[in-house]
């Protein structure tokens, strides 16, 4: 078991959070290194947002040990909040203020006023590409611009750690890429980033390491590449064949298929060599429709670990 060191931004051991009879977070262990981008992935109700809220002093834990930047969120919340930036899932901007005023007013919470506050506001709006919108009301901004303004506001205290809960939900592809670029820049500058996301490509492009959560527990962890190698293998064959034949076909292919997953009549076969496995499928099941032979992605890992059942947030 790791201990608190100067190299760890977050250390959680046996972390538990309950809401009545429901266990939202069920005894998880997490270590996050300083300067890395770390991700929490999981379906609705997996415990991602609850975990993020415990890290950001918004929700107290029921059991376990937690240190964020060496501090206990329960015992030292004021000191910790001064060193952490939070980008919440919901929009928390003041729509009646201008873009610049949103940052300036927020700066007061950190005793930053006058010239220093104005200088930092100018710098942050330039960083997120909103300098030309500084005097406009927030309500005129697009969704992507509002998200970038939330990031600017979260950086006003020059945090060592930034927590981002679903940072690009609802954004179009262009806006998502702009947000990703700003997050990469923060990462290059040494800021520790912790994010929860439903977007597999987001986690794959941004995260050094991540955990996959399901029903309040961590079911797997590692780098995106390491998870692919361990859980699914590097390649996958997608084919359509009656569901009743899936198990028998997978068994007949032997070691050629490292694992399989069914979704109705769609069968996914995970393998080291998709081309060779596709040929084997055609030889053994000529009636099967081979839709694709491709490299696996983090979405394949996610679905393999958590299943394809639709979840509703609780």
As a whole number of angstroms, the distance between CA 72 and CA 80 comes to 8
As a whole number of angstroms, the distance between CA 129 and CA 141 comes to 12
> pLDDT tens, position by position, for the chain (314 residues)?
344 457 899 999 999 999 999 999 999 999 999 999 999 998 888 999 999 999 999 999 999 999 999 999 999 999 999 999 999 988 889 999 999 999 999 999 999 999 999 999 999 999 999 999 999 999 999 999 999 999 999 999 999 999 999 999 888 999 999 999 999 999 999 999 999 998 899 999 999 999 999 999 999 999 999 999 999 999 999 999 999 999 999 999 998 898 899 999 999 999 999 999 999 999 999 999 999 999 999 999 998 888 765 455 44
As a whole number of angstroms, the distance between CA 304 and CA 109 comes to 44
- pTM of the entire structure? 0.89
As a whole number of angstroms, the distance between CA 228 and CA 297 comes to 7
Three-class secondary structure of residue 261 per DSSP: strand
Q: Regarding beta strands 209-214 and 37-41, do their DSSP bridges make them parallel or antiparallel, or are they unpaired? A: parallel
* Paired tokens of 241: 């064949």
CA distances from 261 to 257, 264, 268 (A): 11, 10, 5
Pair 118, 104: CB distance under 8 Å: yes
Pair 170, 143: CB distance under 8 Å: yes
* Paired tokens of 27: 């005894």
As a whole number of angstroms, the distance between CA 112 and CA 189 comes to 22
Q: Which residues pair with 163 in a beta bridge?
A: 86, 194
Phi-psi region of 35 (alpha: psi -120 to 50; beta: other; left: phi over 0): left
Domains and CATH numbers, the chain: 8-223 (3.40.50.300), 234-295 (3.30.70.980)
- Relative orientation angle of helices 99-107 and 114-127, to the nearest 10 degrees: 130
First and final CA of the chain: distance in angstroms? 32
């Amino acid at each position: 078991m790791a201990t608190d060191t100067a190299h760890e931004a977050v250390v959680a051991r046996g972390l538990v959070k309950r809401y009545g009879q429901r266990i939202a977070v069920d005894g998880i262990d997490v270590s996050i290194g300083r300067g890395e981008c770390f991700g929490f992935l999981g379906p609705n109700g997996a415990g991602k947002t609850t975990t993020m809220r415990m890290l950001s002093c918004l929700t107290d834990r029921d059991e376990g040990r937690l240190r964020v930047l060496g501090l206990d969120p329960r015992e030292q919340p004021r000191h910790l909040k001064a060193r952490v930036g939070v980008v919440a899932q919901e929009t928390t901007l003041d729509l009646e203020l201008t873009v610049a005023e949103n940052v300036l007013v927020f700066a007061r919470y950190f005793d930053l006023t006058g010239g220093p506050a104005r200088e930092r506001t100018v710098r942050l709006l330039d960083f997120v590409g909103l300098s030309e919108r500084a005097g406009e009301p927030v309500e005129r901004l697009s969704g992507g611009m509002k998200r970038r303004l939330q990031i600017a506001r979260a950086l006003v205290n020059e945090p060592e750690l930034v927590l981002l809960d679903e940072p690009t939900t609802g954004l179009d592809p262009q806006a998502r890429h702009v947000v990703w670029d700003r997050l990469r820049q923060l990462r290059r500058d040494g800021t520790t980033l912790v994010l929860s996301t439903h977007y597999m490509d987001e986690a794959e492009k941004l995260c050094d390491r991540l955990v996959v959560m399901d029903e309040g527990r961590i079911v797997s962890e590692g780098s995106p590449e390491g998870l692919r190698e361990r859980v699914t293998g590097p390649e996958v064959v997608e084919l359509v064949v009656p569901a009743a034949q899936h198990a028998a076909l997978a068994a007949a292919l032997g070691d050629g298929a490292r694992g399989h997953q069914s979704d109705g009549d769609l069968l996914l076969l995970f393998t080291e060599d998709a081309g060779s496995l596709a040929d084997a499928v055609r030889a053994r099941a000529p009636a099967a429709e081979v839709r694709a032979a491709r490299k696996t992605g983090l979405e394949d890992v996610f679905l393999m670990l958590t299943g394809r059942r639709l979840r509703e947030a609780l």
